[in-house]
Amino acid sequence: MTREEINGFCASLRAATHVVQWGGADVWKVGGKVFAIVGWDSDAVVFKASDMAFEVLRHEEGIRPAPYMASRGLKWLQHYGLPNGRAGGLSDAALQAHITASYDMVFAGLPKKKQAELRA
């Protein structure tokens, strides 16, 4: 997926908000909490992962623990382009599923009152 396609997908999620931060990265939030970062390091996308997804995916080509975040013990992954244009990492559908899972985990961590406001 291109940066524009990833941003379009993130924009389609309920109550998602967008800000540009950290040197021009597209930062996607729900309830003020980050669920995806696009372009923080080139056209890579960073997303929160479950413990199991983190352990399985971090060893896949085109995916690595997200710089800065994973070094602080957070379970975030970075999906990035491979050198020489080689394909790797997740399919578009799988990437969308992981971004959605990140969104869902962040949403579930919000206070119940905030969740109710965002659902309205």
The CATH number given to whatever domain includes residue 12 is 3.90.1150.30
- In-domain check, residue 13: yes
Confirm if 57 and 45 have CB atoms less than 8 A apart: no
Helix axis angle for 92-108 and 112-119, nearest 10°, is: 130
Q: How confident is the model at residue 112 (pLDDT cuts 50, 70, 90)?
A: very high
Q: What is the pTM of this model?
A: 0.90
- In-domain check, residue 119: no
- In-domain check, residue 120: no
- In-domain check, residue 15: yes
Distance, CA of 61 to CA of 81 (rounded, Å): 10
**Number of folded domains that form the chain:** 1
pLDDT at 74 exceeding the cut of 80: yes
Q: Which residues pair with 47 in a beta bridge?
A: 36, 77
DSSP-derived secondary structure letter, 70: G
The token pair that represents 91 in the structure block: 């399919």
pLDDT at 84 exceeding the cut of 70: no
Distance, CA of 55 to CA of 65 (rounded, Å): 10
Structural domain harbouring 83: 3-112
* Tens-place pLDDT, residues 31-59: 999 999 998 666 689 999 999 999 999 98
How many C-beta atoms lie closer than 10 Å to residue 100's C-beta? Answer: 17
- In-domain check, residue 86: yes
Distance, CA of 96 to CA of 84 (rounded, Å): 24
- In-domain check, residue 118: no
- In-domain check, residue 117: no
pLDDT at 96 exceeding the cut of 90: yes
- Find the farthest-apart pair of alpha carbons in the chain and give their distance in angstroms, rounded: 48
- In-domain check, residue 38: yes
